């Protein structure tokens, strides 16, 4: 049975940091590219960052370049999104997606940036 679980969200002040985790089970995690997406209230879901299955290549949305870092540890079946210099406009539900032969989504984790 496939499971994709995000964790690490929460409330943080502007300028603060959070690290999100995405753990997969029930499939071969290391075969799948991983991406993080976010959806703010009233807005469409958008791609934030993506990393290939080996971890050797990454790309980012312009809005988060230089502030967010995507990474993965295939031995732990876990991926990460390290977020720094957070802004109120980063407030959203963050979702992890694993893609290869199939696409799997997690349930999302809320990130709120507010003073």
Which DSSP letter does residue 65 get? T
User: Considering only CA atoms, which of 37, 17, 34 is closest in space to residue 71?
Assistant: 34
Residue 35 is predicted with a pLDDT of 98
Give me the tens of pLDDT residue by residue for the chain, a chain 115 residues long: 999 999 999 999 999 999 999 999 999 999 999 999 999 999 999 999 999 999 999 999 999 999 999 999 999 999 999 999 999 999 999 999 999 999 999 999 999 999 9
42 by Cβ neighbours in 10 Å (0-12 / 13-18 / 19+) ranks as exposed
Residue 69 is predicted with a pLDDT of 98
């Amino acid at each position: 049975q496939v499971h994709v679980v995000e964790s690490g969200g929460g409330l943080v002040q502007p300028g603060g940091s959070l690290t999100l985790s995405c753990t997969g089970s029930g499939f071969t995690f290391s075969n799948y590219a991983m991406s993080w997406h976010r959806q703010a209230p009233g807005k469409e879901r958008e791609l934030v960052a993506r990393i290939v299955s080996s971890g050797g290549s990454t790309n980012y949305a312009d809005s988060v370049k230089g502030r967010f870092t995507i990474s993965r540890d295939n031995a732990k079946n876990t991926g990460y999104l390290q977020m720094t210099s957070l802004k109120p406009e980063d407030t959203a539900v963050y979702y992890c997606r694993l893609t290869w032969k199939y696409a799997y989504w997690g349930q999302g984790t809320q990130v709120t940036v507010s003073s």
